[in-house]
Chains A and B, each alone.
Chain A
Amino acid sequence: MIKTGRFHLLLTFLGGLLLLFIIAPLLGMFLSTTPQEFFTTAQDKEVTLSIWLTLWTAMMATLVSGIGAIPLAYLLARRDFRLKRFVLGLIDLPIVIPHTAAGIAVLGFISRNSVVGKAASLIGLNFVGHPAGIAVAMAFVSLPYLLNAARDAFSGVPLRLEQAALNLGTPPGRVFFTIALPLAWRNIVSGLIMMFARGMSEFGAVIIIAYHPMITPVLIYERFGAFGLKYARPVSVIFILVSLVFFIILRLLSKEKKNA
């Protein structure tokens, strides 16, 4: 018993150190930001504009990718096909590759010399330095979070229910919209929020494609480079608070699921 007790203490000690490591920097940053700095920064047009830009580009990236990601997730959950393992690996690729490298790859894909870039310029759109380009970069690195969550969500819907619906003479399209999607919806929503939160915090891939207009992570980097820690800190605090809101919503959503 005594030995287990000591071991338990050791675990608690090590775990506690790690938690401190997460909390201390954040707490330190919050504490070293004076209320005055906080409010001045919060009223800084450049800061608020960048936060709005970040929020809506991440939102667009999430919603537009959802149109393709949800059907793909359904296919991956329900069908077996050749190269499925390869596709599953491919989906996780954006998580493991360095984000600046991802940015370079995406830039090559959408720059004015590329096929996509040329097509876009026909309608007067240039991705580079444009919110649309930012959204593309965000989508590229955050898609795996939505795809994986949605795939798990669809896998969690018993196949039996879809078979029962088909057996009642229902066409597959209607089965998808009336059975699979409603039953998977809650988990898909948490996937959407996860993708949104991840897109919002992207820096590496975005800065390659668009330094301007400035999303908040880029703004923080710029203030740090130009003016130093003291000026980068309040922006970071505000941005973290905004991110926390979404993180809390996510946790509430997944908690609700357990109760249901």
Chain B
Amino acid sequence: MLELHDISKKFGDFSLDGISLEVKHGEYYVVLGMSGAGKSLLLEMIAGLVTPDNGTIIINGKDITRERIQNRRVGLVFQDHAIFPHLTVRENIAYGLHNRKITKEEIRRRTATLAQQMNIAMLLQRRPSTLSGGELQRVALARTLASDPMLLLLDEPLASLDVQIRSGLRRLLRQIHQNGQTIIHVTHDYEEAISLATRVAVLHEGKIVQSGTADEVFHRPQSEFVAHFIGIRNFFPAALTAVPGHTDGTATAVVNDTVRVTLLSGHPPRMGNIMIRGEDIVISRKKAVTSAVNNFEGTVTDIHPGIHGMELHIDAGIHLVAVITKQSLNDLEIKEGDTVWASFKASAVRFIES
């Protein structure tokens, strides 16, 4: 679908250096990077707003490195939305449709359908200045999708929105992806990568330092930067279930249909991911009686130094990574192949809905 070969660009304070990546049809590709990593610049080059100094951009086998912006069929949703302030929401959504040879009636129909999908049908007559950030984002999405792009580029689409609105938009993005849209989404937030990506690339100082499935990147960071930046090592797709009789605010998340993890959650039953910080996992030789409700017995499969301490990989039905100090490791005399108990409190578990 999209191939970047050895793309380089110096642009003001930003620079990209030898970026190569491939996005397949129907993928949800998340590029993770800190602000200033050149994420927006990457999207602007794919969209044609900026021309790379070196390298080639290929879409569906066609070299578009120097193709005009308007002929690329690459829809970019800007971080600041770039909604046309002098047009109503309806006119904004319909804007790109006027470039095609379709009737006024057809334009009206498609605009209405998109507005329905984006859940902004009631805003069609409004002026952009009266809309909230989340609403502007939906208008921008609708406007871009109206032009029927082969590839959808999203620049930090969930940044600067509050939690409620963010989860609604996340659901919407997932739905757009499920309709078959190929998406590249750049963000600094690893939660978005976990909950949306089919593939993840980490961009650091103008280079892609690692790419792969979310599982590969998060569980096996290949550089100190990636490990540090991502921070979270334990995340698992899980089904949140309501447990009858639990009225204390706890819920159970079932991982791989077998492992049950107790957490604090007000969410109704749904699919999602649970996350546990490696630092929150306590390791003991024997099952200890503590306030931790999650206790798993498992085998140590790997021990290696990490950024915050020694990292212990434990196979306990789920692959847990615990971070402990070198001192503790020595005191407990843990080696690879040993059996240990890993414990963590219900409050140490975070649920991200998907």
- Do residues A179 and B84 form an inter-chain contact, with CB atoms below 8 A? yes
Interface segment, one of B70-78, B163-171, B244-252: B70-78
- Do residues A170 and B96 form an inter-chain contact, with CB atoms below 8 A? yes
For window 148-186 of chain A, which residues contact chain B by CB distance below 8 Å?
Answer: 158, 160-161, 163-172, 174, 178-179, 182-183
- A161 shortest CB reach to chain B, Å: 6
User: Does any Cβ of A come within 8 Å of B289's Cβ?
Assistant: no
User: Does any Cβ of A come within 8 Å of B99's Cβ?
Assistant: yes
Across the interface, A171 reaches (CB within 8 A) one of B73, B82, B99, namely B99
Residues in B whose Cβ lies below 8 Å from that of A158 = 82
Residues in B whose Cβ lies below 8 Å from that of A183 = 85-86
- Do residues A167 and B76 form an inter-chain contact, with CB atoms below 8 A? yes
Residues in B whose Cβ lies below 8 Å from that of A166 = 68-70
Q: In the bound complex, what is the Cα–Cα distance between A178 and B70 (angstroms)?
A: 15
User: Does any Cβ of A come within 8 Å of B147's Cβ?
Assistant: yes
Q: In the bound complex, what is the Cα–Cα distance between A178 and B84 (angstroms)?
A: 10
Q: In the bound complex, what is the Cα–Cα distance between A168 and B49 (angstroms)?
A: 12
- Do residues A164 and B82 form an inter-chain contact, with CB atoms below 8 A? yes
Across the interface, B69 reaches (CB within 8 A) one of A161, A163, A179, A182, namely A163
- Do residues B75 and A168 form an inter-chain contact, with CB atoms below 8 A? yes
With A160-B78, A161-B82, A179-B84 in contact, do A167 and B95 touch (Cβ < 8 Å)? no
- Do residues A169 and B84 form an inter-chain contact, with CB atoms below 8 A? no
For window 89-139 of chain B, which residues contact chain A by CB distance below 8 Å?
Answer: 95-96, 98-100
Residues in A whose Cβ lies below 8 Å from that of B144 = 167-168
Q: In the bound complex, what is the Cα–Cα distance between A165 and B143 (angstroms)?
A: 10
User: Does any Cβ of A come within 8 Å of B173's Cβ?
Assistant: no
Chain B: interface residue count, which band? 20 to 34
Q: In the bound complex, what is the Cα–Cα distance between A167 and B99 (angstroms)?
A: 12
Q: In the bound complex, what is the Cα–Cα distance between A172 and B80 (angstroms)?
A: 22
Residues in A whose Cβ lies below 8 Å from that of B74 = 167
Residues in B whose Cβ lies below 8 Å from that of A160 = 78, 80, 82
Chain A: interface residue count, which band? 10 to 19
- Do residues A172 and B82 form an inter-chain contact, with CB atoms below 8 A? no
Chain A facing B: main interface SS: helix
In the complex, residue of chain B having the shortest beta-carbon distance to the beta carbon of A162: B82
In the complex, residue of chain B having the shortest beta-carbon distance to the beta carbon of A158: B82
- Do residues A169 and B99 form an inter-chain contact, with CB atoms below 8 A? yes
Q: In the bound complex, what is the Cα–Cα distance between A58 and B277 (angstroms)?
A: 75
With A160-B82, A171-B70, A179-B84 in contact, do A165 and B49 touch (Cβ < 8 Å)? no
Q: In the bound complex, what is the Cα–Cα distance between A69 and B95 (angstroms)?
A: 28
With A163-B69, A182-B86, A183-B85 in contact, do A168 and B80 touch (Cβ < 8 Å)? no
- Do residues A163 and B99 form an inter-chain contact, with CB atoms below 8 A? no
Residues in B whose Cβ lies below 8 Å from that of A179 = 84
Residues in B whose Cβ lies below 8 Å from that of A163 = 49, 69, 82
- A57 shortest CB reach to chain B, Å: 34
- B186 shortest CB reach to chain A, Å: 16
- B138 shortest CB reach to chain A, Å: 15
- Do residues B86 and A167 form an inter-chain contact, with CB atoms below 8 A? no
Residues in A whose Cβ lies below 8 Å from that of B146 = 168
- B208 shortest CB reach to chain A, Å: 24
User: Does any Cβ of A come within 8 Å of B47's Cβ?
Assistant: yes
Q: In the bound complex, what is the Cα–Cα distance between A170 and B82 (angstroms)?
A: 15
Residues in B whose Cβ lies below 8 Å from that of A178 = 95
For window 28-61 of chain B, which residues contact chain A by CB distance below 8 Å?
Answer: 47, 49
With A160-B80, A164-B78 in contact, do A170 and B70 touch (Cβ < 8 Å)? yes
Across the interface, A165 reaches (CB within 8 A) one of B71, B73, B80, B84, namely B84
Q: In the bound complex, what is the Cα–Cα distance between A169 and B96 (angstroms)?
A: 6
- Do residues A168 and B143 form an inter-chain contact, with CB atoms below 8 A? yes
Residues in B whose Cβ lies below 8 Å from that of A170 = 70, 95-96, 98-99
- Do residues B84 and A167 form an inter-chain contact, with CB atoms below 8 A? no
- Do residues A168 and B147 form an inter-chain contact, with CB atoms below 8 A? yes
Residues in A whose Cβ lies below 8 Å from that of B78 = 160, 164
- A26 shortest CB reach to chain B, Å: 40
For window 167-220 of chain A, which residues contact chain B by CB distance below 8 Å?
Answer: 167-172, 174, 178-179, 182-183
Q: In the bound complex, what is the Cα–Cα distance between A168 and B147 (angstroms)?
A: 6
Q: In the bound complex, what is the Cα–Cα distance between A233 and B250 (angstroms)?
A: 92
Residues in B whose Cβ lies below 8 Å from that of A167 = 47, 49, 69-70, 74-76, 144, 147
Q: In the bound complex, what is the Cα–Cα distance between A129 and B73 (angstroms)?
A: 57
- Do residues B95 and A165 form an inter-chain contact, with CB atoms below 8 A? yes
Across the interface, A168 reaches (CB within 8 A) one of B68, B86, B96, namely B96
Residues in A whose Cβ lies below 8 Å from that of B99 = 168-171, 174
Residues in A whose Cβ lies below 8 Å from that of B76 = 164, 167
In the complex, residue of chain A having the shortest beta-carbon distance to the beta carbon of B82: A164
Residues in A whose Cβ lies below 8 Å from that of B143 = 168
Q: In the bound complex, what is the Cα–Cα distance between A182 and B86 (angstroms)?
A: 8
Q: In the bound complex, what is the Cα–Cα distance between A29 and B86 (angstroms)?
A: 46
Pull 17 A–B residue pairs with CB atoms less than 8 Å apart, ordered by A.
A160-B80, A163-B69, A163-B82, A164-B76, A165-B84, A166-B68, A166-B69, A168-B95, A168-B99, A168-B147, A169-B99, A169-B100, A170-B95, A170-B98, A170-B99, A182-B86, A183-B86
With contacts A165-B84, A166-B68, A170-B70 known, what are 4 further pairs, Cβ within 8 A?
Answer: A165-B95, A167-B74, A179-B84, A182-B86
List 7 A-B pairs, minimum CB-CB distance, nearest first.
Answer: A168-B96, A164-B82, A166-B69, A168-B147, A160-B82, A169-B99, A166-B70
Q: Which A residues are within 8 Å of any B CB, using their own CB? A: 158, 160-161, 163-172, 174, 178-179, 182-183
